Structure 1
Amino acid sequence: MENHEGYFHEASFTDPEGNPRTSKVPVVQELARQGLNHLPKRFIRANNTQHPVEPSLPKTIPLINVAKLRAGSEPEGRAQELGKLASGAREWGLFLITEHGISWSDLQSVKDVVKGFFGLSFEDKKRSVGSYASIDNMGYGRNFVKSEDEPLDWIDRLTMKAAPVGGDEGLNVWPQNPPNFKEVIEKYVKQARNVMDELLEALAEAFSLERNAFLKYLNPENSEMNVRVNYYPPCPRPDLTLGLTPHTDGSVLTLLIQFEATGGLQILKDKQWLTLPWPSHTLLVNVGDLLEIMSNGRLKSPWHRVVTQMDVERFSVALFYNPPSRVEIEPEPKPNQEDDAMEEDGFEKVVVGDYLQHFYRVSPTDEKKAIIYAKAK
């Protein structure tokens, strides 16, 4: 059997004394190919069962028909769909969507190029794309390592900046193989942006705000769209590790597709981890921290994680939609709230880039702490 122990990603971090350090992180795809029947020590978590786990949600999260939200739709049906959107987003911070206008063939093309890339040998993947730890952790490899002691996630990643145009200029972060990888993903991103714009307008309307209350921060010329491909290989001991550490998203909205397997995504609700029922023919949308701030807490970003599975592999593609880093976002006042005063539990203005720097500096944490940065003092 071929030995894959020599394959690793390099991750840079700063130690507590302020010294730059580099960590060699094992490539989980190669560990899985090796057919391990044990879990390497660096992936083992001592408190993996901090909260009890329920096998599935006691009730399903809402499935939103995007076509019914569009102008010109039948009024009664549209009003019902807006109601579903508001209740689902308020209760869960996420929802499923269907009839969104992105064709099945385009989604299949995304699946084909992603699987094509991860089907390459490790050497070919490294030759195909660069890796930049200091620039939004873009490129191919495991990221967000902060010490040699922290437990590692059972995941391989690929991250690109798809917008604005030129945002990745001079960086080799798009795979050259498959040759149509960038073309396929950029086509998907363009369509996905339209869907997220529609959803942001509908969310504002559903909460009785001006339709552009959220979208006004996302200029199509300079707003940002990061693409993160997550690959979760089969894991020999799913009970001892995680595919992705508990977190919220530092975005306005995140749009996800998954393929090959389901059952990996969990949300913390009422102090229990609940496995999301996520049918393969739907896309999933979740609220990010920036939208929680913009909505002044009407919408809340969900605390979520990914678990591993023993005998199956799972892929997901996440699109993170953000204003430019220099933009200042402002919470929408709540009813009966003075314009010049914030409620105790409300938020204050924050510059997107400042918030994201803070977000990544304090992450990961054991609970939702990063957003306290934007709370009204």
Structure 2
Amino acid sequence: MQRSFGINILQLLTLSSKASTYQRIFTFRHPKSNMVVSSSRLPNGTVIDIAQIDKINLAKLEFGNSKEIEKLRSAAESDGVFYLDFHGSEMGNLLFQQLGEIYYLSQQYFDQDEASKMKDIRSDQKSSQDRGYKSCETDQTFEMSYDELVKGDLYLPQSLQPSRHTLKYFSEICHNAALTMLRSLSTSHSPDEPFEKYHQKSKQNDSGLKLVYEPCIPKKSEVLENKHTDSGTLTILFAEQLGLHVQLADGSWGYTNSIPGCAIVHVADSLQFMSGGKLRSPVHRVTQPVDGFMKRYFLSYFLRPEDSFKEKCRLRD
């Protein structure tokens, strides 16, 4: 069920990434990248770069379409970021039926007072893990372990308890979509040592669904620099508003758009390592195109390799 998140029309027209809210001025292709960047104008006159990244269809990957697998390989090698199109996929259709409810749950959770959320800090996890509630100067997050959620071992806050089944189902679909992409990349890239061998169901790992609240702030100039790469295998991001800023192969930056029925996917460090550096883990950050406070929510699913792979990496270092 789709719900409103309290965004007024002025904010939507100013900050939304939907194509109808900005005017495309010109398009150019970076010589070192497959990525095309469109220079676009927001209603207030601000010009921003929108990265026109490749769109990969999940249903075609599920059916082993060789052209789509090659398209995925090319996107993962060149820019390391692409749209995953769920249209035509049965599990994709089911996922987007759940998406509105997950956004609503996220809003309800982060709207609680800080004292309530502090109870959800996980003191039983390693410093490298992101489970439970965390907050910093720029954002608040709540991550749910895939293993714990599927097994029924995960403690959920009271506001999320009634939707345990929905969260579990949504996570399972994201996890399976990520594994489909991983198997497709193995087919085209590493058939002798498939990437999925490090993502066995029976092995402990840190994959999980993360709810993120990272609002736009009054002054764009005061947004803290947060550029980074992700440490896992693949990241699937659902974003209804402008925010994700990706570095292109030539060092310039472009915003990713919000396309109905699609998520943004990027390669992360572990997969780059597995591929011997052939697949690209792109530097990215969360920022905003213009001044103005606005609540902003993201949903991220992180496919991460089993713990034994991380130990293997440490031994190689």
What TM-score range do you get, normalising by the shorter chain? 0.7 to 0.9
CA distance in 2 between counterparts of 1:93 and 1:107 reads: 25
After TM superposition, the structure 1 stretch with the greater mean CA deviation from structure 2, 281-290 or 310-319, is: 310-319
CA contact 1:205–1:211 (8 Å) conserved in 2: no
Residues 223, 288 of structure 1: CA spacing in aligned structure 2 closer, same or farther, 3 A cutoff? farther
5+ unaligned residues in a row in structure 1: which ranges? 1-52, 144-151, 329-349, 356-372
Amino acid at match of 2:57: N
CA distance in 2 between counterparts of 1:55 and 1:304 reads: 16
Number of the residue aligned with 2:305 = 323
Alignment of 1:186-265 (within 5 A): 186-207=168-189, 209-210=190-191, 213-224=194-205, 225-242=207-224, 245-259=226-240, 262-265=241-244
* 1:114 paired to 2:101: no
Q: CA deviation at 1:300?
A: 1.2
CA contact 1:234–1:312 (8 Å) conserved in 2: yes
| Length-normalised TM-score, structure 1 | 0.62
Q: CA deviation at 1:165?
A: 6.3
CA distance in 2 between counterparts of 1:97 and 1:134 reads: 31
* Structure index of larger Rg: 1
* 1:130 paired to 2:121: yes
* 1:279 paired to 2:270: no
Q: What secondary structure, in the 3-state scheme, does the structure 2 residue paired with 1:246 have?
A: coil
Q: What secondary structure, in the 3-state scheme, does the structure 1 residue paired with 2:181 have?
A: helix
Q: Which of 261, 264, 276 in structure 2 is aligned with 1:296?
A: 276
* 1:141 paired to 2:134: yes
CA distance in 2 between counterparts of 1:212 and 1:176 reads: 43
Q: CA deviation at 1:85?
A: 1.1
| Length-normalised TM-score, structure 2 | 0.73
Number of the residue aligned with 1:268 = 247
CA distance in 1 between counterparts of 2:160 and 2:197 reads: 36
Number of the residue aligned with 1:56 = 49
Cα offsets for 1:94-129 (capped at 9, x unmatched): 1111124232212222112112212333334345x2
* 1:157 paired to 2:144: no
After TM superposition, the structure 1 stretch with the greater mean CA deviation from structure 2, 213-222 or 92-101, is: 92-101
Task: Tell me the number of residue pairs that the alignment of Structure 1 and Structure 2 aligns.
Answer: 261
CA contact 1:263–1:277 (8 Å) conserved in 2: yes
CA distance in 2 between counterparts of 1:313 and 1:277 reads: 18
5+ unaligned residues in a row in structure 2: which ranges? 1-38, 40-46
Identify the structure with the greater helix proportion: 2
Q: What secondary structure, in the 3-state scheme, does the structure 1 residue paired with 2:74 have?
A: helix
CA contact 2:150–2:168 (8 Å) conserved in 1: no
Two-structure CA RMSD over aligned residues (Å): 2.9
After TM superposition, the structure 1 stretch with the greater mean CA deviation from structure 2, 287-296 or 184-193, is: 184-193
Identity %: 22
Q: What secondary structure, in the 3-state scheme, does the structure 2 residue paired with 1:327 have?
A: helix
